[in-house]
Structure 1
Amino acid sequence: MMEVFCNLEVDVNGQEIFLVDKKIILSFSGRLRKLFGKSMSKSRNDKVIFHDFPGGAQGFELMARFCYNNGRIEVTPSNIILLNSVAHFMGMAKDVSGTQNLIEQTEKSLEGIPDWTWSEILVALKQYQDFPLVENSSAILQKCLDSLVPRLAMSSDVSPSTSSPDSSGFRLSCDTRSTESMKNSFSRATWWFEDFVVLHLNLIENLIKAMIAQKFSHVILSRFLFYYQKSRFSGATSDEKRMIVESVAEMLFSLHWSSVSCKNLFGILRVALSLNVNKCCRNRLESMIGSQLDQATLDNLLVPSPPGVAYLYDVNLVLRFLRSFLRGGGCWVSSARLKKVGSLMDLYIAEVAPDSCLKPSKFVALAVALPESARDSHDGIYRAMDMYLEVHAGLSEEERMKICCALNYEKLSSEACKHLAQNSKFPSRTAVQALISQHSKLKSLIQDTSYVKPISDSPFSYSEKGTKLKKVEDGDQVVLYARKLDLSSENEKLRAHLQGMQWRVMELEKVCRKMQTQMAKIMKSRLSSSSNARSLPRLCS
């Protein structure tokens, strides 16, 4: 029987002290042989202190069992990663006894990873993340992932095209059997979420890369990352939360942005802003949100301003969203998407207009951020301007004119033009511009109604359909009527249409004359207050 001496004291990471036989341990550990050299005296007591021993006391105990059992130990999926890390750390590639060394045993066992169960691979991954990186560790990780990811792809048989990033599930049919089938499909696609929540960020990053390489659904991957972020926040410190958000944002950035839920992006952005994440993380989140701004809602955009900024809402953030939307979309942004963002911005501008701290330059920047094609009507912009000028009554004439320059008078409705012409909060020049626009529309309408092509210069002209038209233009009145000659039943609708248009034109003329009279009075009172007569100022275009 071999005589055992406890002549070596080993302090393992400050957790526990082991008393072992120096000769036995040194016969298997190249690291300790190098440390002690030829000093193998049994009577001499030595002490070794390890600060970063893989697995701590548990790892050293496993190694000691291997050494005391003459190089034999059962290698299982639950200890293989730890044994391999200890073997590399202690330099156990060669031994005095000539038996198979620990590194060879563990690497031979790793060849059986494809036959491991799902649970056994997860246990190995959990051990991998708990130990310091040592030689060959990346190869072990890759073997685990190469076995894990294909199993996920086979069990999660869901195509990205069948799901939407913002839906809580897939589009379900009214048929009960179809509904249950879809729910089961979604369950198959996400059953592994809970298993991976326990993994550290570095492992999740490697896992996501491997799943992307395997053409895994980006919709499912983005869902998992949001799930992971929320789950890992429980009990985490502020620094840990910041690291999680920054890593999750980086992984989301590597996916197809259209597969990432806009709603969830706004959620993680709010968290990111409260944690003061780095600028790169913020830029990535803003770019992803901006690329699908047409999917956002007004509530999403109402982000409070950062500390130290007087504005009620973070207007600069929204302006950056708009720049990302236009820059990311380029010339291929569809008209429908652009107009959807235009409608959203009308709502947002109306919401921030009553903010007394909002500077005129920021208000104008919001109003002109989108191209003209984004809006068919400027009535929304006009209403927001009306609110803004009411709250900011102390603005100078020049400042008010700069604000009004964002208004396209040609895209104002007749009601808005009429209201603007009588609105004392707006500069007088804008009232003139509104009247000119209204007159131009009226003239176009009259031209559109006089669609019958005359055949002579006579005051009375006849159309090809036999309808006699009388057209009188004296600057104050336009009369349009149709006299029935020999109209058939098919022409009865045309006659009714012409009579309806005649009434509308007459009503518009009354409104126009009233507005002209009111405008003349306004201009007369303003000109009389001036000491020197001068021509009308140049209109703002």
Structure 2
Amino acid sequence: MSDGYSKNTMTRNSKPPDLELYVKGVPFHLHNETLAKKSAKVTTLLECKKIDELRWILKDIDVEPTTFFLVVRFCYGYKIHLSSENILSVLCTAYYLEMNDDHISNNLLNKAVTFLEQRLLMSWNETVKALAVCSDKILDKISVVGLTEVFLDSLLEKALKDPSLLEYLTTLPLRLYEPLIQEASKHNVSVENLVESVYNYAKRYVFEKYSGDESVSRNKRQVLEAVERLLPHQRGAISCGFLFKSLKESMFLDASPDCRKGFEDRISKQLDMATSKDLMILLPNKVGGGAYDTNLLKTILQSFYSNYNVSDVSRFVSVARMLEEFLLDAAASDAGLSVETFKAFGEITFAASCDVLRYSDGIYRAVDVFLERHRDDLTETEKMEACRVLDCKKLSPEACEHASKNEKLPLRIVVQVLFFAQKQIQDKVAREMESVEDKDDDDDIEDMNKKLLRLDIESDYSEKREIENLECVVHCVKEKKEERKISVWREVKRKFGCMTSLTVDACNCHIKKRKKTYHHYK
């Protein structure tokens, strides 16, 4: 390589070279006067007789040998080819060497700027390509001369006309990508385009396979923290899968507390939109292992219940069902799932579902699968521990029948199931009798209301007294029925430590919705 450089640079000068420069280990044998003719900086050093400094003239900039070769060829009068891959490096080198038109007309810096204006900035792809190959030192240099803003303004102008272009910025350095997306978010750019762009960037620099290199890990952490800052906070704007992946990476990469909390908050706002598959992302990888942080799930649930109130019935039900599916999937997929972890999952799931879903058949199915998966490696004591998440009172008649014949269950659990199965029959009879009484009460109320309508408002005092007495009876009957209702949402929030200033009246306003029966997962 050095012979090639020496041969090309000496062709148009018969004198022996009097300057030897090294650029990243590659030698260049040059002529002082040839460089000085194009470079004001070289001229100054020669006039001051600072030959030693001239030998180290390029130490302050990160120039590649191929780039310097282009600059040298220009000094020796050869035609050079500028492209998006080399233009910024050539421009910075020419700027550093003071190869401007004040020193000699039609100099290299002028040619580079002209190429920049007429070719590079006119094209989105060429601009992105040029910025993608820049080193940090080159980016520092173009920032000093104010070119960074020029590039960002050019890209932003094009992106505002066609927001889909933002999806094709994965090659940009983070120091350019983040301010560009931040600026785009201030304009009328759709959330979908912004999120898609950020997702693609994270996919390239964060979710790729971990190499174990500390510098790579540090870069991933920086990108992930920037991703969290760039993502919107609107409910449903980001897929739950992406949020769970990001949260897992934030823990693995030891990202900042603000970064982790940002992902947790976004998840909690739309937890009812998540699936068991999303939640499974947080389980430790089979390669490398690790313990599952059950406290993390509790934190997310606490935040979720704090965000919503009793009017959000469907969201409470969705979360309860999702947790039962997750418990089942975790039991089925992870052979290494310990009894302690399964029990912790089960307790969380039961707390979320016991006052929301009529039956806990999903938990029973998960217990059944867990016992089957560990049929040969659990003691009776451990089986009993795994079954502690079961509430036999919450099993449907079908589940009770299955459990009463389930040989995997401890005998004590089977006995409890049989006992509560019998009690279910008794309760059913009692409810049927109560429904008859309620119907009689409703008939009485209807008769009373009809009688009230027949009364003449202008009647004498005795008739008014009769109206008052009838109204009192109606009120007492209704009040007695309301006392039978349970504040479901108040109890759920209490279990997750996120009680609000919810009143009993507020809780009772959605009784009809809570009477809906949810038998099984699909």
TM-score range relative to shorter protein: 0.5 to 0.7
2:139 to 133, 137, 150: 133
- 1:291 to 1:5, Cα distance in 2 relative to 1, 3 A: farther
Tell me, in whole angstroms, the C-alpha distance in 2 between the residues paired with 1:19 and 1:447: 106
Equivalence for 1:39: 49
2:293 to 316, 319, 326: 316
| Residue 84 (1) aligns with residue 91 (2) | yes
2:224 to 245, 249, 255: 249
> What amino acid does structure 2 have at the position aligned with 1:395?
T
Question: Higher mean Cα deviation, 278-287 or 218-227?
Answer: 278-287
> What amino acid does structure 2 have at the position aligned with 1:142?
E
> What amino acid does structure 1 have at the position aligned with 2:319?
V
Return the index of the structure with the highest Cα Rg.
Answer: 1
State the secondary structure of the residue aligned to 1:450: helix
Equivalence for 2:156: 149
- 1:39 to 1:336, Cα distance in 2 relative to 1, 3 A: same
- 1:234 to 1:373, Cα distance in 2 relative to 1, 3 A: closer
* 8 Å contact from structure 1 (residues 290, 325) kept in 2: yes
2:124 to 103, 118, 136: 118
Tell me, in whole angstroms, the C-alpha distance in 1 between the residues paired with 2:87 and 2:53: 32
| Residue 224 (1) aligns with residue 205 (2) | no
Equivalence for 1:425: 412
Equivalence for 2:499: none
1:395 to 381, 388, 412: 381
* 8 Å contact from structure 1 (residues 81, 127) kept in 2: no
Tell me, in whole angstroms, the C-alpha distance in 2 between the residues paired with 1:197 and 1:287: 26
Higher helix share: 2
- 1:85 to 1:250, Cα distance in 2 relative to 1, 3 A: same
Q: CA shift at 1:277, angstroms?
A: 2.9
1:260 to 230, 234, 238: 238
Q: CA shift at 1:449, angstroms?
A: 1.7
Question: Higher mean Cα deviation, 113-122 or 137-146?
Answer: 113-122
* 8 Å contact from structure 1 (residues 30, 90) kept in 2: yes
* 8 Å contact from structure 1 (residues 342, 374) kept in 2: yes
1:12 to 19, 23, 29: 23
* TM-score of the superposed pair, with normalisation by structure 2: 0.59
Q: CA shift at 1:343, angstroms?
A: 0.9
* 8 Å contact from structure 1 (residues 293, 321) kept in 2: no
Equivalence for 1:214: 187
Q: CA shift at 1:16, angstroms?
A: 3.8
* 8 Å contact from structure 2 (residues 350, 389) kept in 1: no
1:59 to 54, 67, 87: 67
- 1:369 to 1:113, Cα distance in 2 relative to 1, 3 A: farther
| Residue 341 (1) aligns with residue 341 (2) | no
State the secondary structure of the residue aligned to 1:259: coil
2:275 to 291, 294, 297: 297
Tell me, in whole angstroms, the C-alpha distance in 1 between the residues paired with 2:86 and 2:221: 32
- 1:208 to 1:16, Cα distance in 2 relative to 1, 3 A: farther
- 1:437 to 1:20, Cα distance in 2 relative to 1, 3 A: farther
* 8 Å contact from structure 1 (residues 397, 427) kept in 2: no
* 8 Å contact from structure 1 (residues 294, 338) kept in 2: yes
Relative contact order: is structure 1 or structure 2 higher (C-alpha 8 Å, sep ≥ 6)? 2
Report how many aligned residue pairs link the two structures: 411
Q: CA shift at 1:446, angstroms?
A: 1.0
* TM-score of the superposed pair, with normalisation by structure 1: 0.57
Tell me, in whole angstroms, the C-alpha distance in 1 between the residues paired with 2:366 and 2:387: 15
Tell me, in whole angstroms, the C-alpha distance in 2 between the residues paired with 1:255 and 1:234: 19
Equivalence for 1:330: 306
Q: Which runs of 5+ in 2 are unaligned?
A: 1-11, 449-522
Q: CA shift at 1:106, angstroms?
A: 6.0
**Percent of aligned positions that are identical:** 21
* 8 Å contact from structure 1 (residues 218, 255) kept in 2: no
Question: Higher mean Cα deviation, 127-136 or 440-449?
Answer: 127-136
1:21 to 14, 32, 38: 32
* 8 Å contact from structure 1 (residues 298, 347) kept in 2: yes
Q: CA shift at 1:377, angstroms?
A: 2.6
State the secondary structure of the residue aligned to 2:339: coil
State the secondary structure of the residue aligned to 1:9: strand
Equivalence for 1:444: 431
Tell me, in whole angstroms, the C-alpha distance in 1 between the residues paired with 2:85 and 2:278: 46
